[in-house]
Structure 1
Amino acid sequence: MKIYIKNMVCIRCQMLVKDELEKHGLAYSDVKIGEANIIGTVSEEILKKLDISLKRAGLELMSSRKRILVEKISNAIIELVHYTDEQIKVNLSDFLSEKLSYDYTYMANLFTEEKGTTIEKFYLKHRTERVKELLMYDELTLSEIAYKMHYSSVAHLSNQFKKITGLTPSHFKILKNVKRNTLENL
């Protein structure tokens, strides 16, 4: 039985879900960002108790097919931006359509309806947040960050960064104490 979990966006979330599944006596085959495969069937009562436990940690079980798809879109973007260095070979719309096996227009409309923002803006916010993270680490030059994040140039990265944050990357780097957003709050 597959369950879908909202706001599950990092490795720590996966560890927390594994712990909660074990506490509720549920065996699982795997736990990935946004979902878990439970071995066998689970009673509604156990699912409700699991949901209560997950909500305490800021997570939540999902049952609506539309909400599940929106969460899958979010998780695919988060994985792409924050957890892989691979550049997609096609544009974002084709990548998401291929990965999730849905028409992009349908996904885009559903995403905007549910999240109140477009897929593209969500993607750009996450790219910007990842650039902030890399700037704060202070291990890479701006050119290396632009290359790593697959920007066509440093100027492109800088323009997009300034449009979203109101700061240039170098000004952001000077203001080391600028608060970053958590992934689930983007």
Structure 2
Amino acid sequence: MKLYIKNMVCSRCKMVVRSELEKAGLQVLGVELGEVEIKNPPTNLQQMKLTASLKQLGFELIDDQKSRLIEQIKTTIIGQVHYADAPAPLKLSAILADKLNYDYGYLSNLFSEVEGSTIEKYYINQRTEKVKELLVYNELSLSQIAFQLGYSSVAYLSSQFKQVTGMTPSAFKKLQGNKRKNIEDL
């Protein structure tokens, strides 16, 4: 059985959620960003305790299909931007449609309706935060960052970065990352 959990966006989140599930007496088979596979469904009491403990930690169990789908879109994008080793060979629309088994048009309309913003804007914000992270680490050149994140050019990365943040990547680098946001706040 799968449980879907909102705001589970990093390795530490996965570890905390696993711990809470185990404390609730559930046998965890696997944990991925945004979802957990457990052996047996939780009892009503386990569900209530789990909902409360996760909420205290900033997580939320997702019950309805639309919310689950939105969370799967977000975790797929986060995985592509923050955890992929290389840029995806496919367009984001194809990745989402393939992974979630829905037409991209439906996913896009649903996301916009529920979130009040587009999938593309969410994707751009995630990429911008990853660029900020990589600039702060100061281990890669801007052209290496552009390649790693699948930008067609450094100029396009710089243009998009400035559009989102109001400053160039080099101006941001001088600030030493004071403007970074948490992934879950995007």
Q: Give 1:95-174 correspondences, 5 Å limit.
A: 95-174=95-174
1:3 aligns with 2:3: yes
In 1: Cα distance, 2:166 partner to 2:160 partner: 10
Query: Structure 1 vs Structure 2: percent identity of aligned residues?
Result: 52
What is the Cα-based RMSD across aligned positions, in Å?
Answer: 1.0
Corresponding residue of 1:16? 16
Q: Deviations over 1:78-103 (max 9, x none)?
A: 00000012222222111110111001
**Partner letter of residue 11 of structure 1?**
S
Which blocks of at least 5 consecutive residues in structure 1 are unaligned?
none
Structure 1 residue 177 displacement after superposition: 4.7
Q: Deviations over 1:29-85 (max 9, x none)?
A: 111111111112321221111010000010000100000000000000000000012
In 1: Cα distance, 2:41 partner to 2:177 partner: 48
Structure 1 residue 21 displacement after superposition: 1.0
Contact 1:85 1:149 in 2 (8 A): no
In 2: Cα distance, 1:177 partner to 1:121 partner: 21
Please say which of residues 41-50 and 158-167 is displaced more in the overlay: 41-50
In 2: Cα distance, 1:64 partner to 1:172 partner: 40
Partner of 1:40, secondary structure, is coil
Partner of 2:78, secondary structure, is helix
Contact 2:86 2:149 in 1 (8 A): no
Q: What TM-score do you get using the length of structure 1 for normalisation?
A: 0.97
Q: Which runs of 4+ in 1 moved over 3 A?
A: none
